[in-house]
Amino acid sequence: MESVRADVWLWAARFFRTRSLAKQAIEGGKVDLNGHGCKPAKAVHVGDRLVLGRGEERLEVEVLGLSEQRGPASVAQALYRESDASVAQREAAKAQRKLVGAMAPPGRPDKQARRELRRLKDSM
């Protein structure tokens, strides 16, 4: 096998749960192949570089293997290698989200806290 469709490879490498979701992401401009835009039927070869955007995550991967079948996660992880910069960026974003979550109040205010907020707002 020399090449595989981009949407099929993304599905087989378990970046998306279905091939149609992979196709939608490609058509939505969330996937770049070798620094350029991509179409779902674009051929992916070993050695190609993909940049994927999933939500707030941005992954940069190099294609190491090709597959048209979706297999176990261990096999799917052998199809690509994520760049060191991408891993560092994701870890930094994860730490940032964790800090923001720790600073947020732990849910809805109780009766006493609501009264305190109301008093504070009225005094302004």
**Cα distance between residue 54 and residue 113, in whole Å:** 37
pLDDT per residue over 62-114, tens digit each? 999 999 999 999 999 999 999 999 999 999 999 988 888 777 777 888 899 99
CATH number for the domain harbouring residue 112: 3.10.290.10
Residue 23 has pLDDT above 80, yes or no: yes
Whole-number pLDDT of residue 77: 94
Is the pTM value of this prediction over 0.85? no
Whole-number pLDDT of residue 54: 86
pLDDT range class, residue 28, cuts 50, 70, 90: very high
Residue 1 has pLDDT above 90, yes or no: no
Q: What is the domain range of residue 29?
A: 4-123
Count of structural domains within the chain = 1
Share of the chain above pLDDT 90, in %: 79
Whole-number pLDDT of residue 41: 95
